[in-house]
Amino acid sequence: MFVRIDLESDVPIYTQLTNQIMEGIATGELQPGEALPSVRSLAADLGINLHTVNKAYTILKDSGFIQIHRQKGAVVQSGGMPPADDAYKERLAEALRPMAAESLGRGMSLEDWLTICRASFEQLKAKREGRPI
């Protein structure tokens, strides 16, 4: 697995896991229909508890990025990813606001800001496109 957990980070382990799996899905490193490791095996691999992995899986299931077949395991969503609807865009804008405020406060220009935003997105997109489907 490609997951790396930082136990020193102040970001909760289940959040790190959720983010990295989501990133894997976004970049195509994890293909639709592809099986994720079982909660027990991934927990063992990472040296963490089964429930911590389960919490990440549950979050991803609830937001629609994976499916969980009760006796078969977790699988990357194959019936289309959840849409970027208005509700999501609003949540996104809300989350971006404090960052935009701090950047503006530190004297960044709109161009500075957009450069970093663009880089963050393109980096992931490039990863996906450099990958066979």
Instruction: Catalog residues that contact a copy of itself under the rule CB under 8 A.
Output: 19, 22-23, 25-27, 65, 81-84, 88-89, 92-93, 95-108, 110, 112-114, 116-125, 128
Which amino acid makes up residue 11? V
Q: List the single partner that 114 binds among a copy of itself, DNA, none, CB under 5 to 8 Å by kind.
A: a copy of itself
19 or 123: CB nearest DNA? 19
d(CA 54, CA 40): 9
Which stretches of the chain bind DNA, using CB under 7 A?
10, 12-15, 36, 38-41, 47-52, 54-55, 57-58, 61, 68, 70-74
Place of tokens 């490791």: 37
The smaller minimum CB distance to a copy of itself, of residues 95 and 133, is found at 95
Work out the number of other CB atoms within 10 angstroms of the CB of residue 24: 20
75 binds, among DNA, a copy of itself, none (CB under 5 to 8 A by kind): none
CB of 125 to DNA, least distance (A): 29
Scanning the structure block, which residue is given the tokens 């102040």? Answer: 10
Q: Which of 43, 24, 124 is nearest to 81 (CA)?
A: 24
Which of a copy of itself, DNA, none does residue 67 bind (CB under 5 to 8 Å by kind)? none
Nearest residue (CB) to a copy of itself, 35 versus 104 = 104
Give, in order, the Cα–Cα distances in Å from 47 to each of 2, 5, 14, 66, 107.
14, 9, 13, 23, 43
**Least Å from the CB of residue 85 to DNA:** 24
Q: Report the C-alpha gap between 53 and 38 in whole angstroms.
A: 9
